[in-house]
Amino acid sequence: MKRLSVVMIIVIVLSALLTACGGGAGGGGAAAAAKSFFDAFAQLDFAKMKDMTCEAQKKSIEDAMSMMGAGGDASALKDMLKIDTAGLKYEEKSVSGSNATVVVSGKLKLEMMGQAQEQDLDNQELPMVNEGGQWKVCGEGGIPLQ
């Protein structure tokens, strides 16, 4: 029961994180950065997610990591929670200076302790900023997971 509670807390926290923020990598533009963040999310790589998050939203990632304990080590979660982002598509909607919007669409698949669920990301917009030459998702209009 405790393991299930921990998993549910993490899923809720990650949902909140994706609603509030995200991140990316340099080179390849904002869409490639958004994909990199979702790839890190699928691997439950919280350290990479933190690196790919804008400065204004890093605290959200840190809070999620502290809720997990052990500095965000997700090794126990990886056995219980599987995330498949292969069905997602990323498209730059607009770029203006150091700001961009990436539209994410497709199916996000989650499996937790044998229970599968699909989340349809119907053209969700991810606001992005370029910090230090790297695109990072950052803003209020992230992806709501339900």
Hey, what domains does the chain have and what are their CATH numbers?
A: 2-137 (3.10.450.100)
Phi-psi map region of 65: left, alpha, beta (phi>0 left; psi -120 to 50 alpha): alpha
Report pLDDT for 50: 85
Residue 3 burial (CB count, 10 A)? 12
- Give the mean pLDDT of 121-138: 92
Pairing of strands 134-137, 81-96: unpaired
Report pLDDT for 81: 85
> Residue 2, exposed/middle/buried by CB under 10 A (0-12, 13-18, 19+)?
exposed
Q: How far apart are alpha carbons 6 and 67 in whole angstroms?
A: 9
Residue 115: C-alpha distances to residues 36, 74, 81, 91, 112 (Å)? 26, 19, 9, 30, 5
- List, for residues 25-74, the tens digit of each pLDDT value: 445 799 999 999 999 989 988 888 888 989 988 888 777 767 765 455 56
The DSSP H or E segment spanning 61 is helix 58-68
